[in-house]
Chain A
C-alpha cells in the first residue's frame, strides 16, 4: 500500500516538474459569493421563511401550528429527541405519541422525527444538522416528516457565514427542503430516501 502511495506521489511530482511555474491561488473577495439581493436589509428569519418555502420546506414559529399540520397529515406517532420533549409534549397535546427511543427495526412506525437543528441559512432556506445536536441520524432522516427545532439566533444570513461556522463536528448536513428526485422524465418527486416533508420549528 505504501508502494502505491510512493508510486502515485512520485508520478505526480514528475508530471508537474515540467511546468515552468505553477498557477497561483487567487485571493477572492467574499462578497462575490453572496447573492446580495436576497438578503440585503432584510430580517434573517423573514428571508429564511421565504426561501425555505421556495424549496417546499416550511418554517413555523408556533407549536400549535405544528400540531395542526401533523394532525392534518395523520402523523400522530413519531420519534422525538428526549431533550425536546419537555418543550413540545405539553404544547402538542395528548393525541401525539412521542417515542424517545428510535428503533431501527421498525423505521416505518415513526411518521415523524423531531430533532434539534444546529443552525439555519436565510439566503438558501437551509436547516443545518450535525452529530452534536442531532440525537439520532436515522431519526432525522427516515420518517416522512422531519421537524428541526431551530433557535432563531442560530440562523445565518448567508451561505458564506454558514461555511465559516462549519466547525469541527464530523457530520454537518445542510438540508434545503424535502428529499427529491427528477430522474424520471425530469418530473419532480418529493420524498425519495429521506423526508417528504421538511419543517423548521423556529424558537426563541
Chain B
C-alpha cells in the first residue's frame, strides 16, 4: 500500500501531471483540475514533454520497460515543486510503485525524491492546501467510488469531505464499497471474465441506490464501469470529482467565464 510520507512539499506553485488517460480520453477531467487549482490560487507549470507514470508496464511485470518511462518522467518533472495528479493510481505509482521497481537501481534515491513530491488531487486540496470545504452549488445524487489505489492514503476521505460539503450534493453509499471495480490495468483484458464479473457486481450495487451519477478520483475505474454499462445497454453517467468541484464553482458564479 502506498501511504505517502507526511513531509511532502506543498504550496501554490505546482506542477501538473495530466495522466495518459486524460490525455487520450478524459480531457475535461484534466481541464477541471486546472480550473480548480487556479481557483485555489495556484500557479501551474505543465511540462509538455510528459507522457505517462509508467504504471501499465509496472503492473504487467515488465519493470525495465516501466523504468524507462519513469526515468523520462523524472527528467521532465524537474525541480522540487509539488506534483499534482488527478488520479489516485498514478499518484500511488509515483509514491510507491516506482520506488519499488527501482529498489535495486542506482537512481533509486532520485525516484524516491520524485515520489515524495506527488499528491493526488483531493489529498492536495484538503491536506496540502488545508481547504476542507467546497463552495458553490451542485444538485445531484452522487455515488462515490473510492478506488483501490486510495488504500492507505487520505484521498478517499478527502474527496468525500469535499463532495459532502457542496450545497446540493446528496452523497449515497452502496454495498461492498471496499470491493474492487475489476479494472486492474491489463488485468481487464487478460482476465476478462473475472474483470467483467467484478464490474457487473459493482454496477449492481451502485444501481441499487439509484444515483444520478458515479464519481471517482480514478478515470480508469470510471472508464471500465461506464464501458461495461454502456455495452450492456444500461449506461451510467460517470465523472471525475474535479469536474464536480469545477461545475460547483461555475454554478455558484465563482469561476471567470
When A and B assemble into the complex, do they touch directly, with CB atoms less than 8 Å apart?
no
> Which residues of A line the B interface, CB within 8 A?
none
**Chain B interfacial positions (CB closer than 8 Å to A):** none
